[in-house]
Amino acid sequence: MSSNRGVVFRGKGEVAVEAIDFPELALGRRSCQHGVILRVVTTNICGSDQHMVRGRTTAPTGMVLGHEITGEVIECGRDVEFIKVGDIVSVPFNVACGRCRNCKRGDTHICLHVNDDRPGGAYGYVDMGGWVGGQAEYVMVPYADFQLLVFPDKEQAMEKILDLTMLSDIFPTGFHGCVTAGVGPGSTVYIAGAGPVGLAAAASAQLLGAACVIVGDMIPERLKQAKSFGCETIDLRQDATMSELIESVLGVPEVDCAVDAVGFEANCHGHNHGQEAPATVLNAAMEIVQAGGRVGIPGLYVTEDPGATSEDAKQGNLSMKFGLGWAKAMSFHTGQTPAMRYHRQLMQAILYDKVAIGKAVNVQTISLDEAPDGYAAFDDGAAKKFVIDPHGQIA
């Protein structure tokens, strides 16, 4: 049997590259003839992975991490009709069957057949069905005909792989945040967070025609990265209200819409910056978004957070100014992103040079053995998106 290695969660603050099982076309003891085995071309480190590594979820030790996967098909199950060996494909981070009522209406992020505990599955993630992660040399992907996005030209795909690798998660996620927030031509939009998802959301807002994209963060290097592709920025360490900070850019204290790309590990802004307050981004959005406006929330919120600073937050209960949102007739859109809803269109935008998403999120390629260092640098706030190249194909 061929060998395989992957990035394994070893407890709070620790990941290791270890030998893992080579994937088989099987689901437990059942054959999985609708699946394929991929030789991983790229696999990315995500902020969602970082939540687990920080000990902020109930992820078990020994889990193989990674849900942002691009690969080359090396084996197809008997029932795969339209994918062939040699195809370069993007894998949506949502595991989805394509057959349940949710998948049939396009809600692949809440598939009913891939997780025994609740709707929705994902590779290498806590409480998402136990699917083996793709921060590895090889991985098995089920429901291949339904899920996989085949790149039309292999040579072109490899030339643009550092952009195309973002199609598995953060580009559709940032785009979904903007779409659900109502970003459109002429919009003014506030993006909370200049991590990779926030930067992807900012690039998406520009692609959707926003007039002004404002990105807020507390890390100067990340704000510099947002500014590098035309965003306005606000340093949230400043001791001012959110309305005042928005007014300093726009001349008025409100935006048309907002995107929360931070999630539950948010910190206070102003003189309390660095103090955790998991609902602070949601409360800020209610303050600065116009009456009748919308907030897209691709940032992760969890049902259990063992590392939270309060007992309520440990159970996912947040102290929100929901009355303000109700009084302003605002809409909030939550949940994971149905990546398949957007990935083909965003692929086309990349291939036709309408967006340089890899440049926007500041890609840095690393080897599989360098993954633990990548996790550590990301945890320290590096203004980079770490892309793992398991087989040394990119360099």
CATH number at residue 84: 3.90.180.10
Which of 293, 309, 333 lies at the terminal end of a domain, its last residue? 333
Q: At what angle do helices 170-181 and 343-351 cross, to 10 degrees?
A: 110
Does residue 179 share a domain with residue 38? no
Please report whether residue 395 resides in a domain: no
Does residue 378 share a domain with residue 276? no
Please report whether residue 316 resides in a domain: yes
Enclosing domain of residue 206: 172-333
Alpha-carbon distance values, 196 to 63, 186, 192, 217, 360 (Å) = 23, 24, 12, 12, 9
Does residue 194 share a domain with residue 158? no
Does residue 188 share a domain with residue 280? yes
Which of 333, 348, 372 lies at the terminal end of a domain, its last residue? 333
Does residue 263 share a domain with residue 142? no
Q: Which residues pair with 30 in a beta bridge?
A: 27
Judge whether 177 and 215 are in contact, CB under 8 Å.
no
* Predicted structure pTM score: 0.96
- 395 residues of the chain, pLDDT tens digit each: 589 999 999 999 999 999 999 999 999 889 999 999 999 999 999 999 999 999 999 999 999 999 999 999 999 999 999 999 999 999 999 999 999 999 999 999 999 999 999 999 999 999 999 999 999 999 999 999 999 999 999 999 999 999 999 999 999 999 999 999 999 999 999 999 999 999 999 999 999 999 999 999 999 999 999 999 999 999 999 999 999 999 999 999 999 999 999 999 888 887 677 788 889 999 999 999 999 999 999 999 988 889 888 888 889 898 899 999 999 999 999 999 999 999 999 999 999 999 999 999 999 999 999 999 999 999 999 999 999 999 999 96
Please report whether residue 178 resides in a domain: yes
Residue 276: HSE in the Cβ half-sphere, 13 Å Cα cutoff: 13
pLDDT, position 1: 57
Q: Report the b/e string of 162-188 with b at 16+ CB within 10 A.
A: bbbbbbbbbbbbbbbbbbbbbbbeebb
Does residue 243 share a domain with residue 321? yes
Torsion angles phi and psi, residue 369, rounded to 5: -65, -20
Instruction: Provide the CATH number for the domain around residue 188.
Output: 3.40.50.720
The number of domains in the chain is 2
Does residue 347 share a domain with residue 325? no
Please report whether residue 41 resides in a domain: yes
Does residue 319 share a domain with residue 204? yes
Which of 295, 310, 333 lies at the terminal end of a domain, its last residue? 333
Please report whether residue 394 resides in a domain: no
pLDDT, position 326: 96
Please report whether residue 393 resides in a domain: no
Does residue 162 share a domain with residue 23? yes
Does residue 353 share a domain with residue 256? no
Does residue 350 share a domain with residue 327? no
Does residue 45 share a domain with residue 122? yes
